[in-house]
Amino acid sequence: MDLHHASAIVTGGVSGLGAATSRALASRGIKVFAIDLQQSVDKAEPVDGITYLPADVTKPEEVRAAVDAAADAGQLRVVVNCAGVLPTARILGRNGPHDPSLFAKVLEVNLMGSFNVLSIAAHRMQETEPDAEGQRGVVINTASIAAYEGQIGQVAYATSKAGIVGMTLPAARDLASHGIRVNAIAPGAVETPMIASVSEDIREGLAAGVPFPRRLARPDEFAQLVLAIIDHDYINGEVIRMDGALRMQAR
């Protein structure tokens, strides 16, 4: 895909997968607009080629403002959704049944947030001049291997990520006539702030369960896969696992 004069949106762009992706895109000369919550943007370290914008992906009006900024700055060609939350709770816990408001919040951020960005960005992306192959852009969402092998306590998270998986093909089909590809990456255990919040024993256990390479993935490897999907014009409607052949156990 032609990326000359291109702009990109990366949600969750201040830390973890989003930060690595933002830097990788900026290194290609793309004008990157990294979207994150205000408190995260306030702490962001300046990086050449990256503009940090405060926006909540669950609020369409804030997403629209960020998308407009990116589309007005260049040809909006790339959207990568990395924003997400990972709370844990069992359906039946020590304090009773799973809090339905927590379940709804996880779906709102992880699934609805991704859909908001996808749909609003696609609306502006369709106005972009197509390249020689008829392409206008590509959207890459972040799923998880939990969509396939959700663990104990991950019912909300796994459901939200399964929604990302289920959304990929119909979204690609919906947007095909506009020259917009839609794909998703399903990472396994990645060394991100989410993983850093758990104990060292848990992190070591996750790494030991990966067949090869026997370690946690790095955020820059996720970013590398993002670039590969962008460059490969024939990858569309696909969910790609990035997990070192890991298959999650129940706990």
Q: What does the pLDDT read at residue 246?
A: 93
Q: What does the pLDDT read at residue 198?
A: 66
117: in domain: yes
Q: What does the pLDDT read at residue 71?
A: 97
Q: What does the pLDDT read at residue 194?
A: 72
59: in domain: yes
Q: What does the pLDDT read at residue 142?
A: 98
- Residue 24 falls in which region: left (phi positive, over 0), alpha (psi -120 to 50) or beta: alpha
Summarised one tens digit per residue, pLDDT across range 89-131 is: 999 999 999 999 999 999 999 999 999 999 999 999 999 999 9
Tokens of 178: 């506009």
208: in domain: yes
249: in domain: no
Q: Where are the beta strands (DSSP E) in 37-104?
A: 50-54, 75-81, 92-93, 96-97
Tokens of 238: 């696909």
Q: What does the pLDDT read at residue 204?
A: 80
Burial of 21 (0-12, 13-18, 19+ CB in 10 A): buried
DSSP string, 180-239: EEEEEEEE-SB-SHHHHTS-HHHHHHHHHT-SSS-S-B-HHHHHHHHHHHHH-TT--S-E
* Containing structural domain, residue 115: 6-241
Q: What does the pLDDT read at residue 2?
A: 85
- pTM (2 d.p.): 0.95
205: in domain: yes
CATH number at residue 190: 3.40.50.720
Please state the domain count of the chain.
1
184: in domain: yes
Which residue ranges in the chain fall short of pLDDT 70?
A: 197-199
157 part of the active site: yes
Please identify which residue in the block is written with the tokens 């990966």. Answer: 210
248: in domain: no
CA torsion 146→151→152→158, rounded to 10°?
Answer: 10
Cβ count within 10 A of residue 173: 12
SS3 assignment, position 246: coil
250: in domain: no
Q: What does the pLDDT read at residue 197?
A: 66
Whether the CA torsion 10, 78, 143, 244 is positive or negative: it is negative
